[in-house]
Amino acid sequence: MAPSNPAQSQSTSSKLAQTIHTHTFPNGLVLLAEPMRSLESAAFTIRVPGGFVNETDDRGGLGVMTAEMTLRGAGERDSRQFVDDLDNLGVERGDSVGDALAGYSGATLAKNLLPALRIYADVLRRARLPADELESARMVALQELSGVDDEPGQKTMQELRRLHYPHPWGRRSQGQREALETITLDEIETFYHRNYRPNGAIISVAGRIDWAEVRDAVGELFADWSAVDVPPLVEKPRTVRRGFIEHDSNQTHIGVAYDSVPYSHPDYFQAWGAVGVLSGGMSARLFTEVREKRGLCYTVSASQTTLKDRGSVLAYSGTTAERAQETLDVMLGELIRLADGIEDHELTRLKARIKSGLIMQQESSGSRSASMTRDWYLLGRVRTLDEISEQVDALSAATINAYLKKNPPRDFTIVTLGQKPLEVPGAVS
């Protein structure tokens, strides 16, 4: 089969012998591919617009329930045959529901890639959504929710995201117990047919593949998949920046967030470098100042996170009730002190860690497949490892400090979970 709309195919190459192919089908589906001839495996990542932001306020968890039901039979396969066929192909697989996208991933021997994609074409287009599996799927979703509710650290960070991001981006992917207990099969079918669609969907493959063969096979499986028009998402601004969850425990959990820049921003790598100095190993500032020097907590970290058009830094610490107030004070102090700048030796250690990660990514088809999908969703293109390496090499203490001078950590969202609320220092509040 000839590729659909060949004018929409592109290929880019890099010094690391990377060749990244892209093809956009007329229905909006995007296919990405990177041949990795040194491997015997191939991996795929699939994303569709079935994330939790597409749920209604009273149906939190509909995305999770829908994703779970899609794996209970598709096309001619019932639930048992679906599992058996993937196992017979040796597919190591996973699924997830995020903010905007729901997804599936898998890795297998290269010769089994296309048969695996044929099975997932049924998942995306012809899921059975069997009525007799609904209650079993509901129990799985409720158990996942209970698992989070039983983990105070996760509960703290979920509440932090809820307060920090505009609605509905701060929802928790696991949903709400009241909704999960009452979601109907009709609601799942409606959500599936509305959001499992080609416009907004991305398929990425990496490993020992032939680009033309993959492109034509995906065209055969998906080119006649009909697009679905949906209204734009409506956001509601955040209004509360402080939260406390009462919890009878000798431990206290602390979450702190502040605004940063998204992955698509020209200064993203500057922001990323700053956070890497703050939290990126046992020599990073938060670990050194909060845990090692003062022994205030058993864990402390911070990470740069990104949505499509906004970024944030999320920091977390778990400590004892007796040391909680001091832990919060020192954490906030280190975040604020970051605006004073970083030093060359801190950046040198960070660059070494980043380069190690890039090298390991070259050796994993699954990592490349996932990162290409992420790049396309956030940027509308795929960054090569060469480009990322050049961005990292260009970082210096001077460039990061210039960024921090213009964008100091401030306007913190703070959530704590424990026996009693903590006081936010006057300089912060």
Q: Which domains does the chain have, with CATH numbers?
A: 6-222 (3.30.830.10), 242-418 (3.30.830.10)
DSSP string, 119-144: HHHHHHH-B---GGGHHHHHHHHHHH
The residue assigned the tokens 């969202």 is 413
Report the distance separating Cα 299 and Cα 88, nearest Å.
41
- From the CB of residue 146, how many other CB atoms can be counted at a distance below 10 Å? 12
- From the CB of residue 242, how many other CB atoms can be counted at a distance below 10 Å? 13
The pTM score is: 0.92
Kindly tell me the burial class for residue 341, based on how many C-beta atoms sit within 10 Å of its own C-beta (0-12, 13-18, 19 or more): middle
Mapped onto helix, strand or coil, the DSSP state of residue 347 is: helix
Q: Judging by DSSP bridges, how do beta strands 19-24 and 202-207 pair with one another? A: unpaired
Which tokens in the block code for residue 231? 């209204």
Residue among 336, 320, 340 at smallest CA distance from 286: 336
Per-residue pLDDT in tens (0 to 9) along the chain, 429 residues: 334 444 477 877 665 567 999 999 999 999 999 999 999 999 999 999 999 999 999 999 999 999 999 999 999 999 999 999 999 999 999 999 999 999 999 999 999 999 999 999 999 999 999 999 999 999 999 999 999 888 999 999 999 999 999 999 999 999 999 999 999 999 999 999 999 999 999 999 999 999 999 999 999 999 999 999 999 999 999 889 999 999 999 999 999 999 999 999 999 999 999 999 999 777 789 999 999 899 999 999 999 999 999 999 999 999 999 999 999 999 999 999 999 999 988 888 788 777 776 666 667 899 999 999 999 999 999 998 888 889 888 999 999 999 999 999 999 999 999 999 999 987 675
Residue type (1 letter), 87: D
Residue 98 phi, psi (nearest 5): -110, -160
